[in-house]
Amino acid sequence: MTLTFAMQRIPRVESVAAIGPFRLRVRFVNGVEKLYDCRPVLDRPQFQLIKNEAFFRAVRVDPGGYGISWNDDIDLSEYELWTNGRLVGEESLQPTR
């Protein structure tokens, strides 16, 4: 399987909402909803601004649903969200890394 083929199977993001400290609820166009814990990325320099609660809550879906972003420099791809998110309804939301 090529990387291009694998990437084509990842659904696009339909909606995103901040649901708690550093946690997102992401709905994909195929109807699947996942919870994404942002805590593992907080150590990266480019993600320092999302430690501010008001800034974190300003998350939005990128045009076309290819990911989410807070500004032009801080974003997460649909692949990251799909691969490392946990299905809504799973018993716990543990860091994925």
Q: Tens of pLDDT along 18-27? A: 998 999 999 9
Q: pTM, whole model, 2 decimals?
A: 0.83
State pLDDT tens for residues 2-39. Answer: 554 445 589 999 999 999 899 999 999 999 999 999 99
Phi/psi at 93 (5° precision): -115, 95
Question: Could you give the CA distance from residue 50 to residue 6 in angstroms, rounded to a whole number?
Answer: 29
pLDDT of 50 reads 96
Tell me the domains of the chain and their CATH numbers.
17-87 (3.30.2020.10)
